[in-house]
């Protein structure tokens, strides 16, 4: 939002490039969580893929806590992912779809 005659910008947090890189990578990776052909179908992420993503989210939270210190409270509301229980059956019925390891 811009107000006439005002050039005030909200404060920004200065974070190291590795934190920004991790945020961007997680954002891009998360785009592949939903099934690309039909999003209501089970996600193609395997448990191994879910575990890596969850671990990276935990790493990001840790990095943010270290960088921001005690002046900020970080509330972790990120859902941790697990392989869809219907994935195996879905893949058997849809051989054209491949799991994402």
Q: What are the pLDDT digits (tens) for 50-91?
A: 999 999 999 999 999 999 888 889 899 988 999 999 999 999
Interval 4-47: pLDDT, tens: 444 555 557 788 889 989 999 999 999 999 998 999 999 999 99
Residue 6's pLDDT is 46
| Cut 0.85: pTM above it | no
Residue 3's pLDDT is 41
Residue 8's pLDDT is 54
Location of structure tokens 């997680």: 26
- Cα–Cα distance for residue pair 27/77, rounded to 1 Å: 15
Is 43 exposed, middle or buried (CB count within 10 Å of its CB: 0-12, 13-18, 19+)? buried
Domain regions of the chain by residue span: 17-93
Residue 60's pLDDT is 95
């Amino acid at each position: 939002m811009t107000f006439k005659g005002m050039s005030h910008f909200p404060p920004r947090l200065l974070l190291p490039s590795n934190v920004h890189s991790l945020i961007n990578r997680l954002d891009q990776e998360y785009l592949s969580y939903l099934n690309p052909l039909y999003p209501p179908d089970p996600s193609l992420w395997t448990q191994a893929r879910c575990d890596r993503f969850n671990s990276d989210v935990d790493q990001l939270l840790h990095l943010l806590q270290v960088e921001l210190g005690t002046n900020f409270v970080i509330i972790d509301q990120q859902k941790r992912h697990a392989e869809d229980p219907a994935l195996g059956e879905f893949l058997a019925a849809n051989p054209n779809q491949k799991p994402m390891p």
